[in-house]
A and B are shown apart, each in its own frame.
Chain A
Amino acid sequence: MLRAATVALLLTTLMLGGCGEREPLHIGFLGGLSGRGADLGEAGRNGAQMAIDEVNRGGGIGGRQVELVVRDDGHNGAQTIAAVNELVAARVAAIIGPMTSAMAEVALPLANNAGLPLVSPTVTARKFFGVDDQLFLVMSSTREEAALSAQFHHGRGARRVALAYDARNLAYTESWLAEFSRSFQEFGGEVVGIAFESAPDADLGRVAEKALAVRADLVMLIASAADAARLAQKFRERDPKIPLAASQWATTQRLIELGGSAVEGMFLHNYFDGQSREPAFLRLRAAYVDRFRREPDFAAIASYDATRAVLDALTRREGGETLHDALLKRGPFAGAEGNFSFNGNGDSSRVPRITTVRDGQFASVM
């Protein structure tokens, strides 16, 4: 009798509260969403959101919907630390990001402490490779990219390269410089590095003049898309013919939006074939355009891959496996352009490509 009364009471309360759904699963995203690196951050966030929407449409993971918890690192160390702590407190299963090596440097110790996997779509600095920690990398390192670049440009006749690099992201740019220098020197070439500090009011004209003074056959820009676009413009003002190239960091839509004609014919790097005609990839691309009203660039695709790996690992893990171990063991994972998996250190390996800008669009070269 009393039992029946309790049940009646419970029902009344439930009616008001509204029966809740199961607690959603949280995945964190950390990237630059303000300031100069916002193009990478935004693309990364969008790519992650695409992957999550896909999984949620399929019913989520174990019946739970997935939610993206977004944090802005503002390409700022202190902000990064605060953001990582917030994400840890929000009990995310993993963090997609950061998008830049400099912020990865800051975030990694915290992630290691918290035992939280950090799956970065775009970090490629060599020093992060070969280390067994919480950092998972979705693309090959600067070494592979730089080696291909050295080979390609040497093949096109370059013997001396002026390499302008952003000192605000040394973790990445220095790595690129070192790898490229070594590879290019093996071919018998010469590399001159020119550092600059990225800022809205940086004197980019002077950087261009310094680089041109080296009399190089090629100017290589290791900078963000915005800086690369403006630098390209400065170079073009002074020397319309000099070959220009940039690393993957600059290979976003923003380069074209900000560079316009200055970046036409520029050689860029990509780990993804954005022109793939695979139906699955086309579908993904169409969905991205439909949702975000712009084309997906490498950051978006890499972030999509990274997020899919995390979500698939969460679905496939068994027993009391940690996500870290699941990511290492439960591959391969289905990415936008094919399957990939992590080696024992959480590194990946992809084939680097050369891209160029043609008629305001990226086009594959090799």
Chain B
Amino acid sequence: MAESGASGTSTAPVREWSLRSTLVALLLLASTLVFGIIASSVLLYRVPLVVAEDREQLLADADGLARYFEQLLGALETRLGALRSLPDRSLPEAVADALVDALAEGGFQAIYLLDRDGQVVEAAVPELLAGAAANLRGADLSRNPLVTEARRLGRRTWSDRYLSPLNGGGTVGVAVPAGQYLLIAELAPDFAREAITRLTARIAFPVLVVDRAGEPVGGRNLGASDLLRNWGADFAGVVGIEGGELRELRFDERLHDAAIARSGRLGWLFVVTRPAGFDNPRVRIAVLIVGAGMLAAIILSLVFAPLWARRLSASLQALTARTRAMAAGDYSASVPRGRIVEFNQLAADMEKMARAVRQRQAELERSEQRLRRSLQRVRELNIDLESRVERRTAALELANQELSQALSTLQVAQTELARTETLAALGNLVGGVAHELNTPIGNAVMAASTLNDEVVEFARTLGEGVRRSRLEAFAARVEQGTAIALRNLQRASELISSFKQVAVDQTSMQRRSFDLGELVDEILLTLQPMLRRTPFKVERDIPGDITLDSYPGSLGQILTNLLGNAIVHGLEGRDSGTVRIAARAVEGGRIELQVADDGAGIAPDLYDRIFEPFVTSKAGRGGTGLGLHIVWNAVTAVLGGTIAVDSEPGRGTSFRILLPRVAPQQEAAG
């Protein structure tokens, strides 16, 4: 029967047997085994006994047969022996008659009288073969084995089976020395067979007599082949003189127990047999009786087992019925009791189990109720939560809206602030311009005034007479004075043009081609007033051939802011410092512009946010924090470039701006 896997996965379905079948099989097996053991024991004891008894009988029979043959042949021998003295004493005819008479007594099929040389002198043969006597007379039988044996032994001797000179048939001969002569007589072929039959009449099993060479002399109940074949090999090594020997031999394909007795005088073996094993009738009966008994036991068990099984299964049926009811959900009824302890135990346990199940059910129901209530509560809470969430969401939305508004306001403010800054810058610029202009114009005014004074004075003195030296001096002073005034006015004119350019640039956001170096110079110019007041230097390193097609106003604003930052933030409080403006062309049609100072550097906490609006280190002290943001805006949005800062406190600050030579197109801005 198949087993399901231990891991829980079953492979083949388990074969099921009903209780009845199991009990029947069990009973069958039990009775078979028991009876089998008994039967085997009985047979094991009985069969050898039977076999031993039979063997005893066989040995006795074989011995008896051997002695009987010896007696019979002895008698024949004696009869022949009676003729011993005849040849010497009698006439040949008398001898011939005597031989014939002896033959007529039966038992022999031929009698020969041989002379000293082994020649047949006289022969007595059956009447049927009367003519054969003539053929035999004169035959030289000196080489006949019987003759040679008899001569050698010098006494009466029986041959083994040999072939008769008379008819060639196989027979047995006896030789009796008769003085100078030798009497040879051959046994009639039926003789041996009849003798055996007489003695073993009651035996139904093979009987065999063989000579010393294993050739059959005669037998009974033998198959044709067994009577014709040579038994030398089967009887090899058998002595059998004292009381006989037992062997197992095959006759007609079947195994037989054989008792073998040897005749000392003849040398022949006498074999009496009985079938071995199951073929032995007595053994067979014993086995059959036992077998029948076993069969009866099996039949009885086959009859009784189902009855008993039914009683047993009845009790079980009731139990299974109850179990089925329980499986269907009915735990109420009690379980019936029967007459088997284990089943009653089971019944009691089942009732206990039913009770436990009922209890458990009740508990379960209570639990369920509690659960339901909890669920209800949870639902309510859930609803509450949802409404709260809604409210909160609404509030958040409101806040969000407000924030958005604030943000846009802030953005507007930022723009405003940028514009203000721009305006402020512009204002600074105008202030600066005015300041700048002040000087040259003042100088020019002064020079013109001086000149005026000189002229007035000269004119005054003209009346008194003019000396050449005074005229020359006056002309020199006039020249000087006009030169100064001209120079200063030119300067003022330049300044104004520059400032105009810058203003135009800064306010009109005009795009044009310009030379970077020139622009930087212009910016520096406008910043002169501020720069002059400081101890700082401005270095300028700009190649002369950098041309941009871009927005100079923005660029100017950028530079202004950066320089301003450098002065105001970087070099604040220092009594020396340098701001360096450098530019070079880089690949990609771009310009790199660097504005660096060796000032204080940017504080680390502002570093990352330096380009963001409202980031300043001078909060509350006039810094709006928008300067760099404006710069950043201008660089990225207007000029289409990038700006980066590299700063370390104590080392200075360096801004690196990468600009395309050709700025991207802008929409017209306000």
A113 at the interface (CB under 8 A from B): no
The contact of B230 among A5, A15, A49, A224, by CB within 8 Å, is A49
B491-513: which residues lie under 8 A (CB-CB) from chain A? none
Q: Is the CB of A230 within 8 A of B139?
A: yes
Chain B's closest residue to A258 (CB) is B165
Contacts A12-B36, A292-B213; A39 near B168 (Cβ below 8 A): yes
Interface string of A9-38 (1 = CB under 8 A from B): 100100111100000100000000111111
The contact of A201 among B43, B130, B140, B230, by CB within 8 Å, is B130
A237 at the interface (CB under 8 A from B): yes
Please indicate the chain B residues that have their CB under 8 angstroms from the CB of A259 in the complex: 139-140, 143
Report how far A201 CA is from B135 CA in the complex, Å: 7
Q: Is the CB of B140 within 8 A of A291?
A: no
Contacts A8-B36, A18-B278, A45-B229; A34 near B169 (Cβ below 8 A): yes
The contact of A200 among B32, B166, B224, B255, by CB within 8 Å, is B166
Report how far A53 CA is from B233 CA in the complex, Å: 8
- The bracket for how many chain A residues form the interface is 35 or more
Interface string of B7-45 (1 = CB under 8 A from A): 000000000000000000110110011001001100100
Q: Give chain A nearest CB distance to B355 CB in angstroms.
A: 39
Report how far A69 CA is from B250 CA in the complex, Å: 12
B436 at the interface (CB under 8 A from A): no
Contacts A204-B135, A291-B213; A8 near B144 (Cβ below 8 A): no
Contacts A15-B40, A35-B169, A49-B229; A258 near B141 (Cβ below 8 A): yes
A69-125: which residues lie under 8 A (CB-CB) from chain B? 69-72, 86
Please indicate the chain A residues that have their CB under 8 angstroms from the CB of B375 in the complex: none
Q: Is the CB of A260 within 8 A of B143?
A: yes
Please indicate the chain A residues that have their CB under 8 angstroms from the CB of B47 in the complex: 16
A60 at the interface (CB under 8 A from B): no
Q: Give chain A nearest CB distance to B308 CB in angstroms.
A: 18
A247 at the interface (CB under 8 A from B): no
Q: Is the CB of A12 within 8 A of B39?
A: yes
The contact of B134 among A203, A229, A260, by CB within 8 Å, is A203
A226 at the interface (CB under 8 A from B): yes
Q: Is the CB of A360 within 8 A of B143?
A: yes
The contact of B224 among A86, A224, A254, by CB within 8 Å, is A86
- The bracket for how many chain B residues form the interface is 35 or more
A2 at the interface (CB under 8 A from B): yes
Q: Is the CB of B135 within 8 A of A200?
A: yes
Report how far A38 CA is from B145 CA in the complex, Å: 16
Report how far A260 CA is from B115 CA in the complex, Å: 13
A205 at the interface (CB under 8 A from B): yes
Chain A's closest residue to B40 (CB) is A12
Q: Is the CB of B163 within 8 A of A254?
A: yes
B225 at the interface (CB under 8 A from A): yes
A236-269: which residues lie under 8 A (CB-CB) from chain B? 237, 254, 256-262
Chain B's closest residue to A18 (CB) is B277
Please indicate the chain B residues that have their CB under 8 angstroms from the CB of A261 in the complex: 140, 142
Chain A's closest residue to B136 (CB) is A230
Q: Give chain B nearest CB distance to A155 CB in angstroms.
A: 29
Q: Is the CB of A205 within 8 A of B229?
A: no
Q: Is the CB of A36 within 8 A of B28?
A: no
Q: Give chain A nearest CB distance to B258 CB in angstroms.
A: 16
Q: Is the CB of B277 within 8 A of A35?
A: no
Q: Is the CB of A37 within 8 A of B168?
A: yes
Q: Give chain B nearest CB distance to A230 CB in angstroms.
A: 5
Interface string of B27-70 (1 = CB under 8 A from A): 01100110010011001000100000000000000000000000
Q: Is the CB of A71 within 8 A of B32?
A: no
A residues within 8 Å of B by Cβ?
1-2, 4-5, 8-9, 12, 15-18, 24, 33-39, 42, 45-46, 49, 53, 67-72, 86, 200-205, 224, 226, 229-230, 233-234, 237, 254, 256-262, 291-294, 360
Q: 29 A-B residue contacts at CB 8 Å? A: A1-B26, A2-B28, A4-B29, A5-B33, A8-B32, A9-B32, A12-B36, A16-B278, A18-B255, A18-B276, A34-B170, A36-B169, A38-B169, A38-B170, A45-B230, A53-B233, A70-B225, A70-B229, A71-B228, A200-B167, A202-B131, A203-B131, A233-B139, A257-B163, A259-B140, A261-B140, A291-B230, A292-B232, A293-B213
